[in-house]
Amino acid sequence: MNHIKKLYRLEIKLKGKPAAEKYQQRQKVAVPLLNTLKEWLDKAVMRISPKTKLGEAISYTLNQWPKLMRYIEDGRLSIDNNRAERTVKPFVVGRKNWMFSNTASGAQASAVLYSIIETAKVNGLMPFDYINHCLTQLAIDPNEVESLLPWNVNLNV
């Protein structure tokens, strides 16, 4: 657990830094920590029963190791997917509501709207303002979609 705490402490220090700097620091600090953790896991898997919770966790971590290492290869990547998990939560909650959609098309429309709203939020936009902007612009030019993607819109201008 100490290795993981150290990895997260590093990420806190790197928050807001350029991707290149994150990459360099991860190579310098995180890679040795991860190598030490991998060595421990490789030894532990031989002596801890895979039928125990700890054994299951060790096996899972080793099986996912290439995915775990992915974030150190690119300074733009996050150490975890917590942000994505938080973004998906409304869909999980909404799933219960979709049962009451009258048609499959209605459920599809609800899912699309959820996706638009959550993507707008992730990109720092107020959903109402964003949707209002999109509808206004689409009424002017229905073919201009690329500029309306949430990461291309700046409503603060």
The rounded distance, in Å, linking the Cα atoms of 80 and 72 is: 11
Tell me, what's the pLDDT at 9? 95
Does the residue 53 lie in any domain?
yes
The rounded distance, in Å, linking the Cα atoms of 81 and 87 is: 10
Domain that holds residue 59: 2-73
Does pTM surpass 0.85?
A: no
139 in the same domain as 104: yes
Structure tokens at 63: 């099986």
Tell me, what's the pLDDT at 91? 66
63 in the same domain as 32: yes
Task: State the sign of the Cα–Cα–Cα–Cα dihedral 21, 23, 24, 30.
Answer: positive
Q: What is the mean pLDDT of each run of 10 residues along the chain (157 residues)?
A: 90 94 96 96 94 94 94 92 73 68 80 87 92 95 92 84
Last residue of a domain, one of 73, 90, 112: 73
Tell me, what's the pLDDT at 1? 73
Residue position matching structure tokens 């509808």: 135
The rounded distance, in Å, linking the Cα atoms of 20 and 39 is: 27
The rounded distance, in Å, linking the Cα atoms of 50 and 37 is: 18
88 in the same domain as 45: no
Last residue of a domain, one of 54, 73, 92: 73
The rounded distance, in Å, linking the Cα atoms of 40 and 47 is: 11
Does the residue 24 lie in any domain?
yes
Tell me, what's the pLDDT at 94? 67
The rounded distance, in Å, linking the Cα atoms of 23 and 29 is: 10
Does the residue 157 lie in any domain?
no
Q: With CA atoms as reference, report the closest residue to 154 among 135, 136, 129.
A: 129
Does the residue 63 lie in any domain?
yes
The rounded distance, in Å, linking the Cα atoms of 53 and 72 is: 27
- Reduced to 3 states, what is the DSSP secondary structure of residue 58? helix
